[in-house]
């Protein structure tokens, strides 16, 4: 009787081992291209910028950025707003109407939504 229970446990272990091996193989195949290079779901830089810019929250003026969370931000010459408190500097919005004086500036937004410029 003890031998029968051990055989059943061994069968479950073998099935689990086969399932894990299959999952690993499927994952490897999903990330490999025909030339053997790892591709994943990456896109080229120009395509990702177009996708990123089209999915950003749009703000009419810089004053509307007060609705963002507190932190340090950078406003580019195109009006793209980047969050500086994260190492990856994610884009968090786009300002449609921006003056020359507001371009390429670092700003700080406090917990009450007040916006201030950071002097370098």
**Quick one: pLDDT at residue 93?**
92
pLDDT (tens digit per residue) in 57-113 = 899 999 999 988 899 999 999 999 999 988 888 899 999 999 999 999 999 999 998
Q: Does residue 56 contact residue 78 with C-beta atoms inside 8 Å?
A: no
Alpha helices by DSSP H, listed for 31-94, are: 45-54
Residues 65 and 95 sit within 8 Å (Cβ to Cβ): yes
Which three-class secondary structure state does DSSP give residue 11? helix
**76, 62 Cβ separation under 8 angstroms:** no
The residues near 60 (Cβ < 8 Å, ≥ 6 apart) are 95, 96, 97
pTM of the predicted model as reported, rounded to 2 decimal places: 0.56
Structure tokens at 107: 């700003």
Is 46:54 a contact under the CB 8 Å cutoff? no
pLDDT digits (tens, 9 = 90+) for 13-49: 888 888 888 888 877 776 665 555 555 554 445 544 5
- pLDDT-derived band at 6 (thresholds 50, 70, 90) equals low
């Amino acid at each position: 009787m003890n031998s029968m229970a051990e055989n059943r446990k061994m069968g479950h272990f073998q099935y689990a081992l086969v399932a894990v091996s299959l999952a690993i193989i499927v994952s490897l195949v999903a990330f490999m291209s025909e030339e053997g290079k790892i591709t994943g779901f990456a896109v080229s830089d120009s395509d990702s910028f177009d996708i990123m810019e089209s999915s950003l929250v749009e703000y009419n003026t810089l004053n509307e950025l007060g609705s963002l969370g507190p932190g340090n931000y950078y406003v580019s010459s195109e009006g793209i707003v980047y969050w500086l408190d994260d190492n990856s500097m994610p884009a968090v919005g786009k300002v449609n109407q921006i003056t020359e004086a507001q371009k390429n500036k670092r700003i700080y937004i406090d917990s009450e939504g007040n916006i201030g410029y950071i002097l370098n």
